[in-house]
Amino acid sequence: MTDHNQSPVPSHVLAVNGLTKDYPGVRAVDNVSFSIQSGTVHCLVGENGAGKSTLVKMLTGALQPTSGSMSVNGSQYLPGNPQDARDGGIATLFQELHVVDELTVLENLTLGMERSRFGFLIKSKLEDRVVQTLYAIEPSINPSARVSTLSVAQKQIVEIARAASSGASVIIMDEPTAALSEREVERLFAVIRRLRDSAVTVVYISHKLEEIFQLGDAVTVLRDGKHIATKQLSDVAGRSELIEMMIGRSVFQDYSPRTNISDEKVLRAEGLTNSVLRDVSFHINRGEIVGFYGLVGAGKTEIARALFGADKVAGSIEFKGRPVGRSPKQAIAAGIALVPEERRTQGLFTNLSIRENIPVMNLRRLSNNGVFRASVEHDAAVDYVNRLNIATESIDKHTEKLSGGNQQKVVFAKCLFADADLLLLDEPTRGVDVGAKTEIYDIIRNLADDGNSVAIFSSELEEVLGICDRIFLLYSGSLEAEVINGTNVDAPHILNVVTGGHVGGVQ
């Protein structure tokens, strides 16, 4: 007998089956299968490196899967590019806004979809449709307003309205609240719920677990490229179960306590505050390796750039007992060097050779009374190629032709040639293979053993637990807790803190 009071089971708007993506030597996504019900908010979670970004790129046509299949509304779906994805009913909102500030809201909503005749734009039903969609989502936004006058949250809503008015049945949102205030987050959530009520499916990606439980209907957990579970959030027993699924293992840790760390506080930072950071204070000892660990939007890179003088920040920074200047030039002169997250665009002159790159942070060492000494440049390059085991047949090889790991070693060599006493390493092993990682970790340990201080800004928990003496845990621009390595390290507790859960207190 049929129960007519039961709600019909929602259909699957999107399904992936056996989706796999291989890179040379690495399987980024491994035989992932799950489905998403229509008219729901479906959350996607996992640690950094779990495979979320690669999966989304395949869903949006930016990457082609090695194997596996996808379907949208029961029909086969294999986008060759992002436009194919949009034509197939899948729109994506990335962390970086894709609006044109100089245009009006209406012009942004119709951008790329305008109709013309004899080279002139003509009014069409499209304009009425997008305005109606915007009004249904957020009636307070004036279609005639210039986008430059809107807040970040309002700009996001313009993007959402553009996606919804295009007929998208699925809208993917990647960390949409990273730059929003608490009040703006509440408004965005209201918009997402209205989308769900109008049968639009939202795939919501966030490291903030409280958002997952507040907003989501279902959740898919990825770990190490594999599908771990897809559950209704009403069936998940709180943060602890979700974190256990995300970790699912004992975090690899090969840290050996170091005994030669000085008690001298070589750097003190007090009350660092800017648009991202919120009253961040800490110290670093001479010969110490400290880690700053957090997820997307936590403020890791912003702390590194503040210490290096690349970003303006309120508060105070003292290095070796003296205030640090507010520019990279003054930071380098004081003995602070930064290995940036983007080594190719920010850390190297890729059109120059290894020999030409190494001395650029300390060109004074190459001159004697204003006379350039090519022999010093040559000897320095040979020395660092040997010391850091840079794989190259010539010091005159252009750095663009080196592997990622060897490019990173050249950036290290630049900092060492600059006589830095404090090295700031932002994601120092991103994009390098396992062998190069091991070599880079050995370099870091040797530098610290020689009395240099090292700060590692990393989104890899295994990395900071494996090499750092102390670890600062960051969440949403705040330094929430401090972990002394070598003691009973609780990985689930760490992940709980950096996803916005209970804090442990800063020592």
Q: Are residues 216 and 306 in the same domain?
A: no
- Give the span between the Cα atoms of 438 and 432, in whole angstroms: 10
Q: Are residues 133 and 181 in the same domain?
A: yes
257 found inside a domain: no
pLDDT of residue 367: 63
Contact (Cβ atoms closer than 8 angstroms) between residue 481 and residue 493: no
User: CA angle, 35 as apex, 31 and 37 as ends, to 5°?
Assistant: 170
User: How far, rounded to the nearest angstrom, does the alpha carbon of residue 162 sit from its chain's CA centroid?
Assistant: 25
- Answer with the one of 214, 247, 280 that is the final residue of a domain: 247
pLDDT of residue 372: 63
Three-class DSSP labels, 380-421? HHHHHHHHCCCCCCCCCCEHHHCCHHHHHHHHHHHHHHCCCC
pLDDT of residue 507: 40
259 found inside a domain: no
pLDDT of residue 76: 92
Q: Are residues 315 and 349 in the same domain?
A: yes
- Give the span between the Cα atoms of 158 and 146, in whole angstroms: 11
**If 0-12 CB within 10 Å is exposed, 13-18 middle and 19+ buried, where does residue 291 land?**
buried
Query: Sheet holding 265-273: strands in order across?
Result: 280-285, 265-273, 314-319, 322-323
pLDDT of residue 482: 92
422 found inside a domain: yes
Number of Cα atoms under 13 Å in the Cβ half of residue 458? 23
Q: Are residues 483 and 363 in the same domain?
A: yes
Domain that holds residue 234: 12-247
Residue 166 gets which letter from DSSP?
A: T
Please state whether the predicted TM-score (pTM) of the whole model is above 0.75: no
Q: Are residues 346 and 490 in the same domain?
A: yes
474 found inside a domain: yes
Q: Are residues 297 and 429 in the same domain?
A: yes
Q: Which residue has the tokens 């930016």?
A: 62
DSSP string, 139-156: TTS-TTSBGGGS-HHHHH
Q: Are residues 95 and 183 in the same domain?
A: yes
Contact (Cβ atoms closer than 8 angstroms) between residue 195 and residue 13: no
- Kindly give the confidence (pLDDT) of every residue in the chain, 507 residues in length, as a single tens digit, with 9 standing for 90 and above: 444 444 444 478 999 999 999 987 778 899 999 999 999 999 999 876 788 889 999 999 999 999 999 999 889 999 999 889 988 989 888 766 778 888 888 888 887 554 544 444 445 556 777 888 887 777 888 888 998 888 877 888 888 888 887 778 999 988 888 767 677 788 888 888 988 998 899 999 987 888 899 999 999 999 888 999 999 999 998 888 888 888 775 445 567 788 778 889 999 999 999 988 999 999 999 999 999 998 877 889 899 999 999 889 999 999 998 988 688 888 888 889 888 877 666 667 777 888 888 777 666 666 666 666 677 778 778 887 887 778 888 888 888 887 777 887 888 788 777 778 898 998 888 766 666 677 788 888 888 998 889 999 988 888 888 899 999 999 989 999 999 887 777 788 888 898 887 554 444
pLDDT of residue 7: 45
Q: Are residues 293 and 362 in the same domain?
A: yes
Q: Which of 316, 293, 320 is nearest to 479 (CA)?
A: 293
Buried b (16+ CB within 10 A) or exposed e, 14-49: bbbeebbbeeeeebbbbebebbbbbbbbbbbbbbbb
pLDDT of residue 474: 93
- Give the span between the Cα atoms of 498 and 477, in whole angstroms: 11
β-pairing verdict for 218-223 and 470-475: unpaired
- Give the span between the Cα atoms of 93 and 192, in whole angstroms: 12
- Answer with the one of 218, 247, 276 that is the final residue of a domain: 247
Helix, strand, or coil (residue 204): strand
Residue 149 belongs to domain with CATH number: 3.40.50.300
Q: Are residues 238 and 284 in the same domain?
A: no
Q: Are residues 154 and 211 in the same domain?
A: yes
| Distances 69 to 31, 72, 85 between C-alpha atoms, Å | 10, 11, 14
pLDDT of residue 502: 59
255 found inside a domain: no
- Give the span between the Cα atoms of 300 and 472, in whole angstroms: 10
- Answer with the one of 194, 213, 247 that is the final residue of a domain: 247
Query: Sheet holding 226-232: strands in order across?
Result: 90-93, 170-174, 201-205, 41-45, 218-223, 226-232
198 found inside a domain: yes
433 found inside a domain: yes
Q: Are residues 82 and 157 in the same domain?
A: yes
Report the domain count for the chain. 2
Q: Are residues 170 and 129 in the same domain?
A: yes
Buried b (16+ CB within 10 A) or exposed e, 191-213: bbeebbeeebbbbbbbbbbebbb
7 found inside a domain: no
